[in-house]
């Protein structure tokens, strides 16, 4: 009896370990595991993309998992160590490729890569194409044209121009903003700019996006920035120009910025409490989704980030991408083929393209999309308008060449110390230079 009992116990333990491995491989389908970077469209993947793809290609089982906001790298690292790792994952530019050198697969023979219109946009590693962009984004200063029109109609305005579209340099922007600050009550707003958010995790609008024109002015292009051992921050004064303008004409007092998140800034804009906020077209959903949103679609427009750089009259908004998809070379050949089938279906079949344009709302860099197949949200339309303006050059995303996350963190903290009055601007500049030199060396440049 006892013997029987112990045999049963052992059998139970053995069985449970078998079940712990999971009983998932029973269907005979090939699993295509995609680790999604964008939490704002997680539902679209599960509710629309998955059923549609599996209906079109029943031999595949598409699995989309979304990492929590700001947790992508952490999630990716732990997922890659699992027995069934992601087949498709995102890398955020060349630094992202460096972080995943041992994982990224060559993509030059895939159908997905052949869809890319401008092949120079892809990321390469040792002669292989390893990352293909899937969405182009643009950012600048988003303004509420209704408030701007109200300002330009004021009888005692201090500027001679009569519409926001005539603002083409920092001088004009500064004159307009500072004069608007004197007329807050008449305009019905509480500040010209939304909060300069510095709550932990909300500094990215300054450490990457705002510094981008300064990086561009110094390095000229992404490849140079990526290889740069040193960053002189030659446009430091220009950066300070616009940063001070944000801070001094804001809805939020300087001392309070540490308690504001970027979502707060977007809500302030959506509620019509401010006229301007720096952000990109991905924020459209945030503006339109705010309860009590008072901004009309046609009034949401972009201004470039003017900061007093030479020739900035001809600069547009910052257009580029940090959204590249890479394949995991350690996945099975069937799964890799499935990944290619899936992405090609998504970005070139009529059904897939409709989902991309209407539900995922990407502006894509693929030749399979025609010019009128762009998402129908106001900021995406604005990005398109700015990209195609005559005589205007879009500012590329040079910030992908920032050597590490630590540089961003140190720079953010230095800016916060400047806001709190503990650092002079020279100290902030020094931190940016020193941290760059240190991080570039650590990154092996």
Interface residues with other proteins (CB under 8 A)? 6, 9-10, 13, 73-74, 77, 80-81, 95, 98-100, 102, 198-201, 253-259, 404-406, 409, 413-414, 416-417, 420, 422, 438-439, 442-443
- What is the distance between the alpha carbons of residues 11 and 17, in angstroms, rounded to a whole number? 10
257 vs 361 by CB, closer to other proteins: 257
- Compute the least distance from the CB of residue 84 to other proteins, in Å: 15
Nearer to other proteins, 100 or 281 (CB): 100
Range list of H helices, 228-330: 236-248, 262-270, 284-289
Residues 429 and 239: their CA atoms lie apart, in Å, by 10
Query: Between 97 and 380, whose beta carbon lies closer to other proteins?
Result: 97
310: its two tokens: 């030479």
From the CB of 80, what's the least distance to other proteins, in Å? 6
Q: How far is the CB of 365 from other proteins (least distance, A)?
A: 26
Q: Which is nearer to other proteins, 77 or 119 (CB)?
A: 77
The whole-angstrom separation of Cα 225 and Cα 215 is 7
Q: Which residues on neighbouring strands pair with residue 302, listed in sequence order?
A: 142
d(CA 253, CA 256): 5
Q: Which is nearer to other proteins, 16 or 27 (CB)?
A: 16
Question: Least distance from C-beta 410 to other proteins, angstroms?
Answer: 8
Per DSSP, the residues of 319-351 read: EE---EEEEBTTS-HHHHHHHHHHHHHHHHSHH
Which residue's CB is nearer to other proteins, number 134 or number 327? 327
Number of C-beta neighbours around residue 149 at 10 A: 13
Smallest distance, other proteins to C-beta of residue 417, A: 6
CA dihedral 97, 95, 89, 372 (to 10 degrees): -110
The minimum distance between CB 291 and other proteins, in angstroms, equals 20
| Residue 23 burial (CB count, 10 A) | 7
């Amino acid at each position: 009896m006892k013997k029987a009992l112990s045999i049963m116990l052992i059998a139970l333990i053995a069985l449970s370990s078998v079940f712990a491995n999971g009983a998932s491989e029973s269907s005979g389908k090939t699993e295509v595991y995609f680790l999604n970077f964008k939490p704002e469209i997680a539902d679209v993947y599960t509710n629309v993309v998955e059923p549609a793809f599996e209906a079109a290609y029943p031999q595949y089982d598409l699995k989309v998992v979304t990492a929590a906001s700001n947790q992508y790298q952490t999630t990716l690292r732990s997922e890659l160590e699992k027995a069934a790792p992601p087949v498709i994952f995102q890398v955020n530019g060349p630094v992202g490729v460096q972080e995943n050198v041992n994982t990224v697969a060559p993509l030059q023979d895939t159908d997905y890569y052949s869809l890319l219109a401008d092949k120079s946009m892809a990321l390469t590693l040792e002669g292989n194409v390893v990352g293909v962009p899937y969405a182009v984004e643009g950012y600048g200063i988003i303004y509420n044209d209704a408030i701007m029109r109200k300002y330009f109609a004021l009888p005692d305005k201090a500027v001679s121009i009569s519409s926001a579209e005539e603002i083409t340099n920092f001088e004009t922007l500064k004159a307009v903003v500072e004069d608007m600050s004197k007329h807050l009550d008449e305009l019905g707003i509480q500040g010209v700019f939304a909060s300069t958010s510095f709550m932990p995790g909300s500094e990215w609008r300054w450490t990457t996006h705002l510094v981008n024109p300064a990086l561009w002015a110094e390095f000229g292009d992404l490849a140079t920035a990526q290889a740069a051992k040193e960053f002189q921050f030659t446009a430091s004064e220009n950066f300070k120009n616009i940063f001070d303008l944000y801070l001094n004409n804001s809805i939020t007092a300087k001392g309070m910025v540490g308690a504001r998140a970027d979502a707060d800034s977007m809500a302030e804009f959506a509620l019509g409490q401010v006229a301007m906020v720096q952000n990109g077209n991905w924020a459209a959903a945030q503006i339109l989704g705010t309860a009590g949103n008072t901004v009309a679609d046609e009034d949401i427009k972009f201004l470039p980030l003017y900061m007093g750089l030479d020739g900035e009259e001809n600069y547009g908004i910052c257009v580029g991408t940090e959204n590249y998809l890479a394949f995991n070379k350690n996945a099975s050949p069937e799964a890799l083929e499935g990944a290619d089938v899936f992405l090609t279906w998504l970005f070139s079949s009529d059904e897939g393209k409709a989902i991309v344009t209407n539900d995922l709302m990407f502006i894509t860099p693929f030749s399979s999309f025609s010019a009128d197949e762009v998402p129908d949200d106001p900021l995406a339309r604005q990005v398109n308008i700015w990209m195609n303006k005559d005589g205007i050059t879009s500012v590329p995303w040079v910030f992908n060449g920032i050597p590490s996350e630590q540089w961003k963190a140190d720079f953010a903290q230095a800016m916060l110390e400047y806001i709190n009055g503990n650092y002079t601007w020279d100290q902030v500049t020094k931190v940016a230079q020193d941290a760059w030199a240190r991080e570039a060396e650590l990154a092996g440049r």
